[in-house]
A and B are shown apart, each in its own frame.
Chain A
């Protein structure tokens, strides 16, 4: 079918305003937050009801048209870069919170609801939705599920998958598939909802999602520990966990990051420090006080040069200021920021950081590393200029090696940013051919024409 004719067909489903087709509009949906080459779709479709997702998907399948769903387009792995000439389906108009059930502690939402807005609505009712990716001010819940996004609270509260109770999604025939339920326990059939988590739009198009909610913690306490040696910082991380304390947040900033943050914010950070740990515990007030004291003792025992606990809300704010500014500060240093996502078992953090620093030296590039030390999820952030071909080539080599190091330490390619197009070619390194074949067979059975976000995760081109 010609483009014009297709556009007419889509207009029948979503109305004329729901079909974007000018050159400028198409090019605005050719990229996402990943440092990858853009690709231009042939049409962009913006439904206004979740029911329209079914016919849209069906029409794409009938015409063998590649379909890429896009939430806020903040994923860092190219998951929303469309197949050239394919269709982009926008979910940001599907943004209704359908139900917040305070009795049974769950909520039902449309996929385009913005994460932070959802969390705020939930909080207004005295409840808590913990997953808080750094992009939460703009990311959508559908995108969060499709990437299994995690946030600063991952260590204690888990990631998005731990809150998904059910998902309704459309298959390629445009039929609505129902998975999960509103009950805490549910073993009805295959865990199809689980299959959707981290599927990056390759297995189905999410409609309504049911999320678990929890009661909020009653108290919290934040502290900062400064180290002159990164091993001591990592040892502290292990020791805290080994003492059976699970902070809600346990973040690490390395020397390079501290230097940049300080240069940019003049917040008074110790620039000679080799590492900083930012730690927050929450829960029952008595338990919080107890845990906080134990953490201070552990830090001191292992040899932190200083430990400071926030006494007031303002002090707590100032502690988190540094963490929040880690990425901005690094991003300002050079034109291009390549944010990586290698994750290792906690005990391997010092080895990972040493590895990254060696790679930085070998390829003569600057890398700042910060991240969620508590769960081993590090963000080596490479500062470069993608227009400098020679330099960018070295960056690509370096990224390759970073993954090799992470895998050699029994880590994983991605803790939270997904595989998308960016890391598809490394899948085999972490898994094996049989795993890929199994995944491909499953994909082929669900999506025989391969229209659902082709080229992502397992289909390295």
Chain B
């Protein structure tokens, strides 16, 4: 049997889900990639049609389909708006796994995922070393956004204004923790996520401060790994499961009510994606994953809905404006939109003002940003324009990946606007 035939057969497993797409085309209204290119193959309907045709062997070239399939942010905007309720994210992720298994990972990805990500110790060591050596070659690009540019890294990063690796990662200060329940009577497990650990440790610190302030006990085990989404988005299911197992093992020991993260992407991965990829695992393991997923929550949601932070009676008036960008993984996958705004409204420094299209994707999309930088940039530019239009001094969000993208876009378009995590603003407000 030819390989392509095998590929087609595997894709047929998705047929039940794909057939639910009635080709109404309504996804054209919300897909940020389509808005830039206006090409059918770049919108959900086109991608599903191509996958169906590959499955039925009407299209013969899997590389072309794969190329189209990867021109997607996995932002979920289409899924959130699809009238037929097609499980678009499941289809796209599983299709990426099937196609990658057929084609094999690129050697660069193989190196990064299998060689680095799944070995947290080595990964940490290398990023620590880079943090030490990156200094002399970088120059500060924008003070407010905290970005840098680096001529040496141009071949890899292009003209990006990236977030430099933090001098001191979060885990150096919190290698582990296990504090008792305080006044709230609650205890959470804390999952900072890679980006917070390595680039935005101050977000991790803000989270710890806020939890302490509200009398919430924290369990932070050694041996946490990446949530795995970069590997899965590239179709590497094997590394994804390895990472998931490392995490399950790390959190197994703790006794906590919720698992919270300051990263929208990590939350939606742990809460929704893990469970979908482990049909073949044993029941005990599936039970553990389910249990952890049930406990997982975005940290702003936890603070407002569980701890009970309330809105101030009077909205603050000020000419210093903070606005909010809805991360796709929070707003579209998990429906968390009010809670981060509530925390921002608590700020004593800023007035909260809504920007236009606050819930439109910023264009980051993980490795989408690496492979389709131009597209990612034009999508991000629209976001940067909206931030500027509302007159914000600060744009806050609740996903560190979004923070990277917002930083790059704002910094490149003139700079001068701070990019911060909601928790940082809230932590400042309660310190007084």
Determine whether A22 belongs to the interface, using a CB cutoff of 8 Å to chain B: yes
Contacts of B25 in A (CB 8 A): 32-33, 72-74, 135, 138
Query: A16-52 toward B: CB 8 Å interface, digit per residue (1/0)?
Result: 0000101111011111110100100000001000000
Known A-B contacts A327-B83, A328-B85; A27 and B22 likewise in contact (beta carbons under 8 Å): no
**Bound Cα distance A385, B26 (Å):** 21
Q: Closest CB of chain A to B151's CB: distance in Å? A: 31
Q: Is the CB of B38 within 8 A of A138?
A: no
Q: Of B23, B58, B85, which is within 8 A of A27 by CB?
A: B58
Interface size of B by Cβ–Cβ distance < 8 Å?
30
**Bound Cα distance A137, B49 (Å):** 21
Query: B46-74 toward A: CB 8 Å interface, digit per residue (1/0)?
Result: 10011001000011110011011000000
Within 8 A of A (CB), among B1-49: 15-16, 19-20, 22-26, 28-29, 38-41, 46, 49
Contacts of A189 in B (CB 8 A): none
Determine whether B84 belongs to the interface, using a CB cutoff of 8 Å to chain A: yes
Q: Of A31, A92, A386, which is within 8 A of B19 by CB?
A: A386
Contacts of A135 in B (CB 8 A): 24-26
**Bound Cα distance A92, B43 (Å):** 14
**Bound Cα distance A385, B40 (Å):** 25
Contacts of B61 in A (CB 8 A): 22-24
Q: Closest CB of chain B to A400's CB: distance in Å? A: 21
**Bound Cα distance A135, B24 (Å):** 8
Q: Is the CB of A138 within 8 A of B28?
A: yes
Q: Is the CB of B26 within 8 A of A138?
A: yes
Contacts of B50 in A (CB 8 A): 24, 27-28
Q: Is the CB of A23 within 8 A of B64?
A: yes
Contacts of B85 in A (CB 8 A): 328, 331-332
Q: Is the CB of B59 within 8 A of A385?
A: no
Interface size of A by Cβ–Cβ distance < 8 Å?
35
**Bound Cα distance A334, B80 (Å):** 19
Q: Is the CB of A337 within 8 A of B84?
A: yes
Q: Is the CB of A33 within 8 A of B23?
A: yes
Within 8 A of B (CB), among A268-294: none
Contacts of A331 in B (CB 8 A): 20, 22, 83-85
Closest residue on chain A to residue B41 by CB atoms = A28
Q: Is the CB of A337 within 8 A of B28?
A: no
Q: Is the CB of A137 within 8 A of B64?
A: no
Q: Of B22, B58, B59, B67, which is within 8 A of A337 by CB?
A: B22
Determine whether A185 belongs to the interface, using a CB cutoff of 8 Å to chain B: no
Contacts of B84 in A (CB 8 A): 328, 331-332, 337
Q: Closest CB of chain A to B64's CB: distance in Å? A: 4
Q: Is the CB of A31 within 8 A of B23?
A: yes
Closest residue on chain B to residue A20 by CB atoms = B39
Closest residue on chain A to residue B24 by CB atoms = A33
Determine whether A387 belongs to the interface, using a CB cutoff of 8 Å to chain B: yes
Q: Is the CB of B40 within 8 A of A29?
A: yes
**Bound Cα distance A93, B38 (Å):** 7
Q: Is the CB of B64 within 8 A of A33?
A: no
Q: Closest CB of chain A to B66's CB: distance in Å? A: 9
Contacts of B49 in A (CB 8 A): 27-28, 30-31, 38
Closest residue on chain A to residue B60 by CB atoms = A23
Closest residue on chain A to residue B66 by CB atoms = A24
Contacts of B64 in A (CB 8 A): 22-24
Contacts of A38 in B (CB 8 A): 49
**Bound Cα distance A73, B43 (Å):** 12
Contacts of B19 in A (CB 8 A): 335-336, 385-387
Q: Of A20, A24, A27, A74, which is within 8 A of B67 by CB?
A: A24
Given contacts A23-B61, A135-B25, A328-B84, 11 further A-B contacts (CB under 8 A): A23-B64, A24-B64, A27-B49, A27-B59, A28-B46, A28-B68, A92-B38, A135-B26, A336-B22, A385-B19, A386-B19
The contact sample of 14 A-B pairs, CB cut-off 8 A, is: A20-B39, A23-B64, A28-B39, A28-B41, A33-B25, A90-B38, A116-B29, A138-B25, A331-B20, A331-B22, A335-B16, A336-B22, A337-B84, A387-B19
